[in-house]
Amino acid sequence: GENVEQHPSTLSVQEGDSAVIKCTYSDSASNYFPWYKQELGKGPQLIIDIRSNVGEKKDQRIAVTLNKTAKHFSLHITETQPEDSAVYFCAASGGKPGANNLFFGTGTRLTVIP
Amino acid sequence: DADVTQTPRNRITKTGKRIMLECSQTKGHDRMYWYRQDPGLGLRLIYYSFDVKDINKGEISDGYSVSRQAQAKFSLSLESAIPNQTALYFCATSAGTGPYEQYFGPGTRLTVT
């Protein structure tokens, strides 16, 4: 099955700086790569996703890049704010036709220091 | 009201007890999932259901069973709870036949003593 690795496990940045979280995956058939944000006491919530026919996607301060050849994808958060502090999970899916099972990374705890 | 609800939100039980976690959704999605979250391990899939008649095992189904009572309801049971099943459990739903966004409930924190 799919194996997703995520780094770093913890990340501290000063408010206003950028944060980058990286993930690799093992199944070359995977074609959907979402990023979830989990705040304390809540379930994960999708913040951005990318499909394999696209190399980069942006949504305001958040961007995701995908390198299918190298089988890695990254989350970039610019101009970080204290409310960005949370645990972020990457995931990969779509190895089987019609499947929607997500394989998650182990998470990155991001702390934005005011 | 929340689209995906889970009950109970917290539960403490003893080794050997049977326990059921319940999930309801108002999103009208056919697909429902149960995940387990442990510190440092991310979320791992326990069971998933594509519709009421289609239930499948995930990565870590041993020791768990599920029931899909209706399109909107998906329950997870621990037949005989053990301490290493102490974890945060999440239910999720999704639409469509391909990979799409999954919507997560607020989670159930289960402690087995």
What are the tens digits of pLDDT across the range A74-112?
999 999 999 999 999 999 987 665 556 889 999 999 999
Structure tokens, B34 = 């149960």
Q: Is the peptide bond prior to B99 cis by the omega test (within 30 degrees of 0)?
A: no
Identify which of B40, B100, B106 has the shortest CB distance to residue A43.
B106
Report the pLDDT value the prediction gives residue A99, as an integer from 0 to 100: 58
Length of chain A as a residue count: 114
Nearest to B34 by CA among B57, B54, B8, B18: B57
Q: Counting beta carbons within 10 angstroms of the beta carbon of residue A46, is it exposed (0 to 12), middle (13 to 18) or buried (19 or more)?
A: middle
> What part of B 43-102 touches A (C-beta under 8 Å)?
43-45, 48, 58-59, 90, 92, 94, 96-102
- Residue A84's SS3 state is helix
Decide if pLDDT at B80 tops 80: yes
Between the alpha carbon of residue A88 and those of residues A69, A109, B54, B70, the distances in Å are 24, 6, 31, 32
Amino acid residing at A113: I
Report the pLDDT value the prediction gives residue B100, as an integer from 0 to 100: 78
Per-residue pLDDT tens digits for A8-51: 999 999 999 999 999 999 999 898 999 999 999 999 999 999 98
Between the alpha carbon of residue A10 and those of residues A6, B56, B88, the distances in Å are 10, 34, 20
Give the pLDDT mean for B104-112: 97
Identify which of B40, B96, B102 has the shortest CB distance to residue A106.
B40
CA dist., res. A28 & res. A10, Å (int): 27
Decide if pLDDT at B91 tops 80: yes
- Residue B41's SS3 state is coil
Report the pLDDT value the prediction gives residue A8, as an integer from 0 to 100: 97
Report the pLDDT value the prediction gives residue A100, as an integer from 0 to 100: 66
Q: Output the average pLDDT for chain B.
A: 93
Contacts of A90 in chain B (CB under 8 A): none
